[in-house]
A and B are shown apart, each in its own frame.
Chain A
Amino acid sequence: MTTIRLTVNGEQHEAEAEPRMLLSDFLRGPLGLTGTHVGCEHGVCGACTILLDGASVRSCLCLAVQADGCTVETVEALGTPAALSPLQEAFRAHHALQCGFCTPGMLMTATDMLRNHPLTTEEEVREALSGNLCRCTGYQHIVDAVMAVARTRA
């Protein structure tokens, strides 16, 4: 077992993990942050996307030990049911989620993309989201929600 110290959503955490433990399992288990979902465990679906030192990554493709000393942001950092963030509000207004399972990863990818890319066209938004699978929505309302937020930044 290894002791891992990291900052998650602005709070310091310290917990034990086996060297082989995935970061996704570490966040969901020892840290109790079940908002990060696990959809494929081989880096394709993007449901487990988090921000690691500011960059969007698949937490199922990272080991917990790799996050030692790092700063992590998960969906729990964005807003609360009573006070949704602007991106979350846009998802609700545009009906950008159905079952909600891919949603946390979709939100974290969109957060990274909105922070770092202009996203001025629909094609750019679709490209930006193309690493996250959604099986419910056909993506159109997700694209609309992200474009709406992108426009408000201008």
Chain B
Amino acid sequence: MNAEMRPKHVGSRVPRREDPRLLTGEGRFVADLMGPGTLHLAIRRSEHGHARIMRIGTEAAAAMPGVVAVVTASGLAGALQPVHATSRMPRYQATATRALAEGKLRYVGEPVAAVLATSRYLAEDAAEMIEVEAEPLPELSDPEAAALPDAPVLNPGTSSNILVERVFGRGAVEEVLMGAAVRVGGRFRFRRKAPVAIEPRACLAEVEKGSGRLTLHSSTQVPGILRDALSEALDLPGHLIRVVAPDVGGGFGGKASLYPEELLVCALARRFRKTIGWIADRLEDLVSTSHGFDEIVDAELGLDADGGLAALTAEILGDVGAGSIYPWTAALEPVQVASFLPGPYRLPAYRGSVRAVATSKAPTGPYRGVGRPIAAFVMERLMDMAAARLGLDPVEIRRRNLIRPEEFPYKIGSGIVWDRSGFHESLEAACKAGGYAALREEQAKLRAEGRKVGVGIACYAELTGIGSRISAAPGMPINTGTETARIELDSTGAVTARFGVASHGQGLETTLAQVIADELGARLQDIHIVQGDSAAVPHGTGTYASRSAVLAGGAATLAARTLRAKVTEAAAHLLEASPGDLEAHDSRVMVAGTDRGLSFREVARAVYSEMGRFPRDARPELEASETYDPYFGTTASATHLAVVEVDPGTYGVRLLRYVVAEDCGKMINPMVVDGQVHGGVAQGIGAALLEEVVYDERSQIVTASLVDYSIPTAAEIPRMLVHHVESGPAPTLGGFRGMGEGGTIGAPAAIANALSDALGISVQELPATAERLFRATNL
């Protein structure tokens, strides 16, 4: 069989290698590492939205059974430096990430004091006995009020609550808008969400007594970022700190930042020379894990008489919570809304102005989709509003405005450049798969029977696998644009490949092995993937921003090719053949077209163990380390089609059909891709219909349980039809495009459009709860 005809691992539905341990309860999550002798940390959190700390009484807590220590900020002096998420962005005000509050309380749930005790039960008992006396200050619950010049300032060291202010755009927006044949617009409100990974955050720090070496096991997406931040905060060289993300029970962005609890367990493990663990309960997770999607957008779109887009203007106000989360900054989400608002459309004039405003709520951070679910919601509603005014079908107005294949690369008004992506192909594929024309006929029939059925379309584009040209968070001064792979063939012929990424459900142990198997010519079972460990490579960040398939897949390709050349060279010497006549497959190097060859094991044995097989000065090194930088990144895009029915009595919503047509380039494992789309859509459905973190006017969070913050179950999620489009080769190595977030980006917009269509209203606030739908329809 020649090389082209041999079956490839990339593109195959390879069963996941993670599954056997996870299916049998043999996975190792952080909470599973809390062995006997571990001291448990419990945290006393702020009950105030905004207050000045007057006194923290710890005596009663310290006297409780099993308590080893009670710690406040003053007790940590000298042990930890605060960490600041800095930015290159002008008009940015940095705020500190601290282990425990100092001076002021800024949100309900902010850590105030900590208890170390011999069990979690005893630690929590004692935490309740800590007396926190605080003088209430005016809460900043409404982001518009917090942005006013005379508002009380939440963060010491800042001059106002506006942490970032920025304007993007091109063209004479006002002039074009004034001259537009049709103008549509209004206020759009996307309400705050919680990521809700089913595993709550947890971390455990241990110090090797002999060397003083610190290991932090954390349920995190970003072990490399944490290692580097801890090195600064603890003033320790990196070789004394290792951050390990073992099995991680979901992240969705909520585990992609540095948290106070991680600083605390590290500082305390060093002080007490004990293993110290913390496991969040669900209440803590809901009040302290970064929230997302809390945006107000005032937008107006102008079109010509044929439905061609002319100009778009938007004022974006991000309610970012108490301050910047490390390392992403408070700019992350609101700036991304402005960056992606023009979407996949030809739009000559655009202006997006952004303000990120601090409020007395939990800090916001990355959540699956970051900014783009809001951008797509606003833009796709505007497209439907415009279509209705012009008497155009929603599909037709999109056909007229989507960037055409010959127009790529296309720079949108915010400066982002789309490379060739299947914008039109996805729209047509979704309509075909969903039976759009027949759907409209069926809808007319059902409507005649009095049923409230609606069809919604949403198109979006996103930038994935972002390289070093720009940071994954705007203005953030850390490099998220490269990924290193180190691959070695050991003396038994087995392959170990190390990466800086950190899988938390994506199946990277399988997909990266698939890439290496093809590029190196090794059997899957001979390849071991090391990830989720800051010690794996000199610099790594982790898994977020739809980057791992593109960046780690690219690095794996490069390193595997280099190693393959080395193994082939060594085999050529042993076989007395020309390297050009050899090919590697199934962990063997063969003389092409013959049955002569050597297994990787035989090559490795000759290189490492059999003395004298190679000349002294020509001993092969069977390892390779390569770094991949996609520089710009690559476009991924999709069209979502949703069919909904609203119960006219209860305003309950049922999803009747859901179709996704998406272009993620070449798929490594189609089964994994489908799973990512399904999961993303489910989160988008939750965001559209159910999920809302609610703070009252005193900044008290009233949705701190899974009863009050409700996420979709199997009964609310419809069967999804996923159609893959491959418009052309992606500019990335391997041809992969990122696709971990897309489902969440398209779904809220498609559902908002479908609900608007069903009820003859304009849904401009999400989640579209039954109450909001009733009010919009009747009041």
Interface residues of A (CB under 8 A from B): 18, 20-21, 25, 28, 33-42, 44-45, 47, 74-76, 78-82, 84, 88, 91-93, 95, 97-104, 107, 122, 125-127, 129-143
The distance from the CB of B257 to the nearest CB of chain A, in whole angstroms, is 18
* CB pair B505 A35 closer than 8 Å: no
Which residues from A are CB-within-8-Å of B19?
Answer: 91-92, 97, 100
* CB pair B678 A100 closer than 8 Å: no
Cα A140 to Cα B719 in complex, Å, equals: 6
* CB pair B23 A84 closer than 8 Å: yes
The tally of CB-CB contacts under 8 A between chains A and B is 186
Cα A130 to Cα B248 in complex, Å, equals: 23
* CB pair B24 A47 closer than 8 Å: no
* CB pair A75 B24 closer than 8 Å: yes
The 3 closest A-B pairs by CB, nearest first: A35-B25, A101-B249, A100-B22
* CB pair B681 A138 closer than 8 Å: yes
> B706 touches which one: A40, A98, A137 (CB < 8 A)?
A40
Which residues from B are CB-within-8-Å of A102?
Answer: 198, 249
* CB pair B505 A100 closer than 8 Å: yes
Q: A37-B199, A45-B198, A130-B715 are in contact. Are A76 and B25 (CB under 8 A)?
A: yes
* A-binding segment of B26-34, B332-340, B345-353, B460-468: B26-34
B717 at interface (Cβ–Cβ under 8 A)? yes
Which residues from A are CB-within-8-Å of B16?
Answer: 92, 95
Cα A93 to Cα B20 in complex, Å, equals: 11
Cα A20 to Cα B510 in complex, Å, equals: 42
* CB pair A140 B23 closer than 8 Å: no
B15 at interface (Cβ–Cβ under 8 A)? yes
* CB pair A100 B247 closer than 8 Å: yes
Which residues from A are CB-within-8-Å of B121?
Answer: 18, 20-21
* CB pair B506 A98 closer than 8 Å: yes
- Looking across the interface, which residue of chain B has its beta carbon closest to that of A143? B714
Q: List 24 A-B contacts (CB under 8 A).
A: A21-B121, A34-B29, A37-B29, A38-B31, A44-B707, A79-B23, A81-B26, A84-B23, A93-B15, A95-B671, A95-B672, A100-B21, A100-B22, A100-B23, A100-B27, A101-B29, A101-B247, A129-B713, A132-B714, A136-B250, A136-B679, A139-B714, A139-B717, A142-B714
- Looking across the interface, which residue of chain A has its beta carbon closest to that of B248? A99
* CB pair B713 A133 closer than 8 Å: yes
B200 at interface (Cβ–Cβ under 8 A)? yes
Cα A14 to Cα B706 in complex, Å, equals: 34
* CB pair A137 B678 closer than 8 Å: yes
Q: A38-B31, A42-B706 are in contact. Are A84 and B20 (CB under 8 A)?
A: yes
B 717-761 to A, binary, CB cutoff 8 A, 1 in contact else 0:
101100000000000000000000001000000000000000000
Max count, chain B CB within 10 A of own CB: residue among A82, A100, A102? A100
* CB pair B24 A88 closer than 8 Å: yes
Which residues from B are CB-within-8-Å of A75?
Answer: 23-25
Q: A35-B24, A84-B23 are in contact. Are A99 and B249 (CB under 8 A)?
A: yes
* CB pair B678 A138 closer than 8 Å: yes
* CB pair A35 B678 closer than 8 Å: no
* CB pair A138 B720 closer than 8 Å: yes
Which residues from A are CB-within-8-Å of B678?
Answer: 137-141
B281 at interface (Cβ–Cβ under 8 A)? yes
Cα A56 to Cα B198 in complex, Å, equals: 19
Cα A125 to Cα B22 in complex, Å, equals: 22
Cα A36 to Cα B348 in complex, Å, equals: 56
> B25 touches which one: A18, A36, A40 (CB < 8 A)?
A36
> B24 touches which one: A18, A21, A76, A129 (CB < 8 A)?
A76
Cα A79 to Cα B26 in complex, Å, equals: 11
* CB pair A34 B32 closer than 8 Å: yes
B705 at interface (Cβ–Cβ under 8 A)? yes
> B15 touches which one: A25, A36, A92, A99 (CB < 8 A)?
A92
The distance from the CB of B125 to the nearest CB of chain A, in whole angstroms, is 10
Cα A97 to Cα B25 in complex, Å, equals: 13
Which residues from B are CB-within-8-Å of A132?
Answer: 713-714
* CB pair A81 B24 closer than 8 Å: yes
B504 at interface (Cβ–Cβ under 8 A)? yes
Cα A42 to Cα B675 in complex, Å, equals: 28
- Looking across the interface, which residue of chain A has its beta carbon closest to that of B33? A34
